[in-house]
């Protein structure tokens, strides 16, 4: 044990000394010199890891922080991976975007100059770009991939990037592994060089883009509406309020809604967002009361909220009583699926044989709707809207993809849409509201009718946050312990199944039967009870921490909520007792 501690201390000290002796920008040098002993360990005990969704972390000095040297190391590895595909891939280049959060633009510029210095062409946006626009740019420019610099929905003080493939999808695990293996050739990014901006532009390795792509993107979005007639007739009557995380990106949102016929669009800004600590809290910490007051003044039908990348959204709707109700992402998905199927049936189309793609950590209301229509549900590992599962499925062509959603507020419709673009789905939600409004119904009434038909589904998520190396060890201990020693009765319900995505196994606990899961390894667990209620956990590397997801199903709303509360109480007590 002492040998391990001594070895860790030696690694930390060596890395710290490298940074002390390196030529750092003044702001990083100042931060480094002010570090206390305990902080040094947390800053240097590991390299910030490239994971399936990209690389994200607290902004600051050190190998375990997001900074210009971390992004240089990532892009040096990416350059090697691109060049390994041949000369043409480097010439096709990389589209690079960024959001309006702190540091994103600077990191995007660093990325472009590292790639240019290593013979990879770059298309760098002149202004902040939503995730959907960046994904579109990759396809529009025929690029070999893309990078989006963003907080990733994390708090102020976090930053990072998502890597996209040539289809405008977040890269698959295999590509990430190749990039990570190339990154291992450099201990850090301290001595990775950049190309001068003027030289990069003169040689054509750096091309600035923006207006042309934005114009083409808006034209592409024009194909999203399912019923243009409804939008033309009813669009002006749908009053929309949206909460704005980024001003420049929001301009594209407003333009998209206006082009689709929705002219009553208003905005409210929420300074409370700066205190968010995670992607889930971006929606949880919205000051919905502030938004509700503004919505009541204008008699809004919808309140829309977005993460900084505009890849995920949360929806609040006006109820029959005139109040506003924040929907879970699963409820929003169920309404959208219900609407799409209604339109398909109205036009004489068949829904049978299609596929609903959803993440394991969402409720099953949409699945119940799909089952009634003869639509198959396929569950994928978490974060599907920002992951590669959708792209892989769409390109396989085995079954027609109809609709998909994830636990974070990502949505996708049809195989032609790459990844999750919340701006496009805002248009669909507005259209859905217009359609039901034309029939004298609200989205709240439609949701109640869905519950009455399929039963009541409740779901919740909780973020457990720890700190530093000790926190990361706690997370690892909890996940390892739960896979072997979790409660067999939760909320008064017998636990019958365990999906251990870490071991790629589906375990029938009563029978002791282990079945192989045909999906990539994923650091998560899901437990299913005898009545279909469930809970699941996955680590969050950026904090570090654990995200806890819970779901219940019952015949009425009160029973469903009570069951969910009992499950939540037992699981939280179990986790606390483990520590």
For residues 15 and 72, state if they share a domain: no
According to the model, what pLDDT value does residue 484 have?
87
Rg (CA), the chain: 24
> What does the alpha-carbon distance between residue 533 and residue 542 come to, in Å, rounded to a whole number?
29
Question: pLDDT tens track of the chain, all 579 residues?
Answer: 456 566 788 889 999 999 999 999 999 999 999 999 889 999 999 899 888 778 988 899 999 999 999 999 999 999 999 999 999 999 999 999 998 877 899 999 999 999 999 999 999 999 999 888 999 999 999 999 999 998 765 556 788 899 999 988 888 878 888 999 999 998 889 999 999 999 999 999 999 998 899 999 988 888 887 788 888 889 899 999 988 765 655 688 888 899 999 999 988 876 555 444 444 455 665 667 888 888 989 999 999 988 888 888 899 998 888 889 999 999 999 999 999 998 888 776 666 667 888 999 999 999 999 999 889 898 888 665 444 555 566 656 666 778 888 888 888 876 545 567 888 889 999 999 999 999 999 999 999 999 999 999 999 999 888 877 788 888 889 999 998 888 899 999 999 999 999 999 999 998 889 999 888 788 899 999 999 999 999 988 777 889 999 999 999 999 999 999 999 999 999 998 887
For residues 199 and 277, state if they share a domain: no
| DSSP-derived secondary structure letter, 48 | P
Domain membership flag for residue 150: yes
Domain membership flag for residue 531: yes
Domain membership flag for residue 216: no
User: What angle is formed at CA 328 by the lines to CA 322 and CA 332, rounded to 5 degrees?
Assistant: 80
Q: Among 236, 207, 109, which Cα is nearest to 161's?
A: 109
For residues 196 and 296, state if they share a domain: no
Residue where one domain finishes, among candidates 454, 483, 515: 454
Strands of the sheet with 55-58, listed across from one edge: 55-58, 158-164, 145-150, 94-98, 122-125, 206-209
For residues 394 and 302, state if they share a domain: yes
Bridge-based pairing of strands 122-125 and 206-209 is parallel
For residues 362 and 250, state if they share a domain: yes
For residues 23 and 62, state if they share a domain: no
For residues 179 and 248, state if they share a domain: no
Residue 225 · residue 427 · CB < 8 Å = yes
For residues 330 and 387, state if they share a domain: yes
Domain membership flag for residue 217: no
According to the model, what pLDDT value does residue 344 have?
84
pTM over 0.85: yes
- What is the full DSSP assignment across 440-462? T--HHHHHHHHHHHH-EEEEEEE
Domain membership flag for residue 341: yes
Residue 495 · residue 533 · CB < 8 Å = no
Tokens representing residue 185 in the block:
């050739």
| DSSP run (H or E) holding 152 | none
> What does the alpha-carbon distance between residue 128 and residue 195 come to, in Å, rounded to a whole number?
22
Domain membership flag for residue 357: yes
Residue where one domain finishes, among candidates 433, 454, 475: 454
For residue 238, give its domain range: 222-454
For residues 282 and 414, state if they share a domain: yes
For residues 426 and 380, state if they share a domain: yes
Q: What CATH code is carried by the domain that includes residue 58?
A: 3.40.120.10
Residue where one domain finishes, among candidates 401, 423, 454: 454
For residues 405 and 469, state if they share a domain: no
Domain membership flag for residue 199: yes
| DSSP run (H or E) holding 535 | strand 534-540
How many domains does the chain divide into?
4
According to the model, what pLDDT value does residue 273 have?
52
Q: What CATH code is carried by the domain that includes residue 508?
A: 3.30.310.50
For residues 539 and 419, state if they share a domain: no
Domain membership flag for residue 215: no
């Amino acid at each position: 044990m002492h040998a391990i501690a001594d070895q860790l201390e030696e690694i930390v000290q060596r890395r710290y000394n490298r940074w002390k002796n390196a030529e750092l920008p003044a702001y990083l040098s100042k931060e480094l010199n002010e570090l206390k002993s305990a902080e040094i360990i947390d800053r240097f005990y590991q390299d910030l890891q490239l994971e399936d969704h990209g690389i994200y972390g607290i902004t600051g000095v050190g190998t375990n922080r997001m900074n210009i040297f971390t992004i240089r190391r990532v892009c040096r590895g990416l350059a090697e991976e691109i060049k390994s595909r041949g000369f043409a891939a480097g010439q096709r280049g990389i589209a690079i975007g960024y959001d309006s959060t702190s540091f994103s633009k600077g990191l995007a510029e660093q990325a472009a100059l590292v790639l240019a210095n290593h013979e990879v062409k770059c298309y760098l946006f002149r202004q902040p770009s939503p995730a959907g626009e960046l994904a579109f740019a990759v396809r529009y420019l025929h690029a070999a991939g893309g990078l989006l610099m963003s907080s990733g929905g994390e708090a102020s003080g976090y930053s990072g990037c998502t890597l996209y493939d040539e289809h405008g999808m977040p890269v698959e695990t295999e590509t990430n592994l190749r990039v990570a293996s190339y990154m291992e050739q450099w201990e850090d990014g301290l001595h990775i060089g950049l190309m001068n901006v003027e030289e990069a532009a003169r040689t054509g390795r750096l091309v600035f883009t923006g207006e042309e792509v934005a114009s083409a993107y808006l034209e592409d979005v024009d194909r999203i509406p399912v019923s243009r007639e409804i939008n033309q007739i009813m669009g002006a009557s749908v009053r929309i309020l949206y909460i704005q995380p980024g001003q420049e990106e929001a301009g594209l949102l407003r333009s998209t809604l206006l082009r689709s016929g929705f002219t009553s669009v208003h905005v409210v800004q929420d300074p409370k967002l700066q205190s968010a600590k995670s992607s889930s809290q971006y929606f949880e910490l919205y000051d919905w009361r502030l938004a509700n007051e503004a919505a009541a003044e204008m008699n809004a039908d919808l309140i829309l909220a977005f993460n900084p990348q505009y890849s995920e959204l949360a929806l609040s709707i006006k109820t029959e009583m005139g109040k506003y109700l924040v929907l879970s992402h699963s409820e929003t998905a169920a309404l959208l699926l219900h609407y799409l199927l209604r339109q398909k049936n109205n036009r004489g189309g068949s829904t049978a044989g299609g596929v609903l793609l959803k993440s394991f950590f969402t409720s099953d209301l949409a699945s119940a709707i799909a089952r009634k229509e003869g639509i198959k549900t396929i569950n994928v590992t978490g974060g599907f809207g920002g992951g590669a599962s959708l792209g892989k499925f769409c390109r396989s062509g085995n079954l027609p993809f109809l609709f998909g959603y994830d636990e974070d507020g990502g949505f996708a419709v049809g195989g032609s849409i790459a990844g999750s673009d919340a701006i496009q789905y805002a248009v669909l939600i507005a259209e859905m509201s217009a359609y039901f409004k034309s029939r004298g119904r609200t989205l709240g009434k439609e949701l109640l009718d869905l519950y009455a038909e399929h039963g009541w589904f409740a779901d919740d998520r909780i973020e457990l946050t720890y700190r530093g190396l000790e926190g990361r060890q706690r997370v690892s201990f909890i996940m390892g312990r739960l896979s072997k020693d979790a409660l067999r009765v939760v909320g008064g319900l017998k636990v019958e199944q365990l999906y251990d995505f870490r071991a790629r196994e589906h375990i029938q606990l009563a029978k002791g039967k282990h079945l192989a899961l045909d999906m990539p390894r994923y650091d998560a667990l899901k437990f299913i009870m005898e009545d279909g209620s469930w809970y699941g956990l996955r680590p969050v590397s950026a904090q570090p921490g654990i995200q806890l997801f819970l779901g219940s199903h019952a015949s009425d709303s009160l029973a469903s909520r009570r069951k969910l509360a009992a499950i939540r109480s037992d699981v939280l007590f179990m986790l606390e007792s483990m520590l």
